[in-house]
Amino acid sequence: MLDTDKIAALRSADIPPALHLIEGAAQPASDGGILPVISPLDGREITTLARGTTTDAEAAIASARAAFDDGRWSELAPAARKAVLMKWAALIEANALELAVLGVRDNGTEIGMALKAEPFSAAATIRYYAEAIDKIYGEIAPTAPDALGLVHREPVGVVGAIVPWNFPLMIGAWKLGPALAAGNTVVLKPAETASLTLRRIADLALEAGMPPGVFNVVLGEGAVVGEAMALSMQIDVMVFTGSGPVGRRLLENAAKSNLKRVYLELGGKSPNIVFADAPDLDTAVKVAANGIFRNSGQVCIAGSRLLVERSIHDAFVEKLRAFTETIQVGDPLDPATQAGAVNSARQLEQNLRFVSEAEAAGRQVYGGKRIREETGGFFMEPTIVTGVAPDDPIAQREVFGPVLAVIPFDTEEEALRIANGTDYGLAAAVWTADLSRAHRMIRGIHAGVVHVNTYGGSDLTVPLGGVKQSGNGHDKSLHAFDKYLDLKTAWIKL
């Protein structure tokens, strides 16, 4: 798939202005507003987005509401919805390289990861939930002979989805797949710094036979479009992946409007814990580096805190530094690149500020500089910060960049205390050959996902969700349907 000639042609292809998709039709902003799309590869404008207004959001919501209420999707036989979703997945795969390059130009992910984690992942997710449509059953309650208790599962109605910029297709599909499979209609707001691929697959959904109005896309700023969605009386469920402050705002607006359910994934400060008895320290080094430096650290579950048992700390850090120096940061559309660009100038500035503050506090910094500045793009060295205290800002706050905070520990109890010592609880990892210790740590760590002797890589069969201020609800697995289906009891006197 990584045909360099095709990538070169797609790199230079013109990108038409992106418009909203409402009731199956491309539409500009109601006031004619546009937003520039700046590529992180070279800092240049590559196209524009319609700058959505409250009026645009309300039009999309009305379209989704009408499409749900008239049953054009929700009342289709499950097999009919399945056929449309399967065709949609096939079209995404057929256009995978185009989608991957478009996404890289928009958000800077290295092409090797982008191809696998974006179009191919999205297609696999949509196919997974399509296959599940006709396998979700209702229930018959155990009742006395003179009564029949039935539990129906029904679509909730209109789903509002707000998707982040780091993996828009992958994370978008985690929400679109089960929401649409369950029979709901959707209004989607992509991130303004990564809207192009999600807008493109919406066209592919229409091509696959999805009825107009079932899947609507409104582009623009969260403070306008997202606010209108959260305040709408016609959206039944909101799903969001992004920052904590925005998640809180969505909850506040849900309370101000129709008490819509809001499901949040709000990131993390995930601990990657290496004990001295880890079965393969060389592998642990490589996985720890890739767990924070791939996609320039712009991964929700990134292992951004590395906890290393003190007896092996110095040797482990030295191996980590040596391996990190081999990571090729460069042009994201070069197949040899292992780490691409930071998504935006604003994100790069935030990353560098975290590093400079840590250095000013006396922490040892390896890397931590902007590089490839001559390209005009937003690139940063993989950065290791050692001597970090558990309560340092760089160990407490989500950087969302290629910045690793390394913290030594002496005992299992101390490691557990440090691991749980943040407001987050999304993911974690433990490296140990002691089976009992592994299970103690799984039990003791407050996180939605705990890896053992690996980091990342769990597939669609298991849920992803956080605890504490990492959010609520779950993406992935059959449990994701819980957000998009209501339970209805039918009690029948015989």
pLDDT tens per residue across span 268-285: 999 999 999 999 999 999
Contacts of 390 (CB under 8 A, 6+ apart): 407, 418, 421
Token pair belonging to 336: 């040899």
Catalytic residue (choose from 110, 118, 192, 300): 300
Separation of alpha carbons 478 and 456, rounded Å: 19
453 dihedral zone (left: phi>0; alpha: psi -120 to 50; beta): left
Q: Report how far apart, in Å, the C-alpha atoms of 211 and of each of 69, 73, 123, 157, 185 are.
A: 13, 7, 19, 15, 10
pLDDT score of 2? 83
Asked if 300 is an active-site residue, the reply is: yes
Separation of alpha carbons 412 and 394, rounded Å: 22
pLDDT tens per residue across span 460-494: 999 999 999 999 999 999 999 999 999 999 999 99
pLDDT string in tens for the chain (494-residue length): 588 999 999 999 999 999 999 999 999 999 999 999 999 999 999 999 999 999 999 999 999 999 999 999 999 999 999 999 999 999 999 999 999 999 999 999 999 999 999 999 999 999 999 999 999 999 999 999 999 999 999 999 999 999 999 999 999 999 999 999 999 999 999 999 999 999 999 999 999 999 999 999 999 999 999 999 999 999 999 999 999 999 999 999 999 999 999 999 998 999 999 999 999 999 999 999 999 999 999 999 999 999 999 999 999 999 999 999 999 999 999 999 999 999 999 999 999 999 999 999 999 999 999 999 999 999 999 999 999 999 999 999 999 999 999 999 999 999 999 999 999 999 999 999 999 999 999 999 999 999 999 999 899 999 999 999 999 999 999 999 999 999 999 999 99
Asked if 265 is an active-site residue, the reply is: yes
Strand order in the sheet with 215-217: 25-27, 20-22, 215-217, 185-189, 158-162, 237-241, 261-265
Separation of alpha carbons 483 and 480, rounded Å: 6
Separation of alpha carbons 100 and 103, rounded Å: 5
pLDDT score of 457? 82
Phi, psi of 204 (to 5 degrees): -65, -30
Token pair belonging to 402: 């290629």
Token pair belonging to 90: 């096939």
Strand 261-265 versus strand 237-241 pairing type: parallel
Catalytic residue (choose from 110, 118, 192, 265): 265
